């Protein structure tokens, strides 16, 4: 596929922050194109955590990842942003006063401003050394569906928030849940760790999964515990390795943006990247005092889009007014 797509604003990244930016761009009357290398919207949440409850979004005591993404899609739909999925933004040039972004399938997007909401960039799961040959036969690195593990013996590997959340979420569904962590202390939130220890989840610390076994499919794992010469053996229909991810900014590194630690885009208080007309929001950004939460990213998206709107039309007000001041559309119009 080749050709040109033209819009006022290009959003690079269709995760939650990018989707909220698409909504806010519509509020400002901008035509918007959203590009993402993944095949569906929602970014890392849809790819890896669709069933995971999220607790830090204002107004929701807890919301499943897939439900949050669905709500953001519905919110933006009023303004009909164009989605170009399974496409990676690779090159950035200027022509006739516009940005020209080349995608990996030959499509070019012409726009007058950009907001980069690419999360952690391209992410790759850290592998479980003992399980390389078992991927797809019992080993996975995320939980797209909790119900897929109904009635199973599940071993979760890791000590961060994802590992602990998945272990607790699977508990009412799976036959048994075992969590294996190679350290004594957990990296997860203290409240989650307390819940974990108070639950029926079997927690094995100072230990590693060192062997997976079975016939066609996985049916057991071997766990080596520090200080013990005899490994533990546990039944396992599934092993979920939540060992984190390595991230890569990829082609964005060549776009002339200010980078911090070669992993984040440095922005100022307007969310500008230092390239005039290019803004960023969400986990990919960095500045003094930065906190990487979805809720923070939503506010940054609003800042980025409003400043982009003023960049495109300097006579416009930065503050667009409150949504409660808007006249609702009449039914059927």
Q: Which residues line the annotated binding site for FAD?
A: 36, 44, 49, 89, 123, 283, 324
CB 305 within 8 A of CB 115: yes
Q: Distance between CA atoms of 165 and 88, rounded to whole angstroms?
A: 31
Q: Distance between CA atoms of 30 and 321, rounded to whole angstroms?
A: 16
Residues belonging to the binding site are: 36, 44, 49, 89, 123, 283, 324
Question: Which pair of tokens denotes residue 262?
Answer: 């070669």
Residue count (the chain): 333
Question: Which pair of tokens denotes residue 153?
Answer: 């013996």
How many other CB atoms are found less than 10 A from the CB of residue 74? Answer: 11
Q: Which of 95, 85, 106, 100 is closest to 22 using CA atoms?
A: 85
Question: Which pair of tokens denotes residue 250?
Answer: 């990829």
The Cα-based distances of 78 to 24, 28, 72, 112 in angstroms read 11, 13, 11, 22
Write down the H helix ranges in the chain: 16-27, 43-48, 65-77, 161-170, 190-198, 294-312
Give the rounded distance of the alpha carbon of 70 from its chain centre.
14
């Amino acid at each position: 596929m080749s050709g040109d797509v033209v819009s006022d604003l290009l959003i690079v990244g269709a995760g939650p922050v990018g989707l909220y930016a698409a909504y806010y761009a519509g509020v400002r009357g901008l035509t918007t194109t959203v590009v993402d290398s993944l095949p569906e919207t929602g970014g890392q949440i849809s790819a890896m955590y669709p069933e995971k409850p999220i607790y830090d979004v204002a107004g929701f005591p807890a919301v499943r990842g897939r439900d949050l993404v669905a709500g953001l899609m519905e919110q933006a739909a009023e303004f009909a942003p164009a989605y170009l999925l399974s496409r990676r933004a690779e090159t950035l040039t200027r022509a006739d006063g516009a940005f020209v972004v080349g995608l990996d399938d030959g499509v070019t997007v012409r726009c007058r401003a950009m907001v980069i909401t690419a999360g952690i960039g391209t992410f790759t799961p850290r592998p479980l050394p003992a399980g390389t040959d078992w991927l797809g036969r019992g080993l996975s690195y995320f939980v797209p569906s909790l119900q897929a593990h109904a009635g199973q013996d599940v071993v979760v590997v890791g000590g961060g928030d994802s590992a602990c959340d998945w272990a607790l979420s699977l508990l009412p569904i799976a036959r048994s849940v075992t969590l294996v962590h190679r350290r004594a202390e957990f990296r997860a939130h203290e409240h989650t760790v307390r819940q974990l220890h108070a639950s029926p989840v079997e927690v094995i610390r100072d230990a590693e999964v060192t062997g997976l076994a079975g016939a066609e499919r996985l049916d057991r794992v071997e766990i080596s515990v520090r200080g013990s010469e005899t490994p533990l053996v546990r039944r396992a229909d599934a092993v979920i390795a939540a060992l984190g991810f390595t991230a890569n900014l990829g082609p964005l590194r060549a776009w002339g943006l200010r980078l911090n630690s070669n992993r984040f885009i440095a922005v100022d208080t307007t969310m500008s990247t230092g390239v005039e007309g290019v803004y960023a929001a969400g986990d990919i950004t960095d500045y003094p005092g930065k906190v990487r939460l979805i809720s923070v990213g939503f506010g940054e998206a609003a800042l980025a889009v409003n400043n982009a709107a003023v960049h495109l039309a300097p006579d416009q007000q930065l503050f667009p007014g409150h949504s409660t001041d808007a006249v609702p559309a009449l039914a059927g119009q």
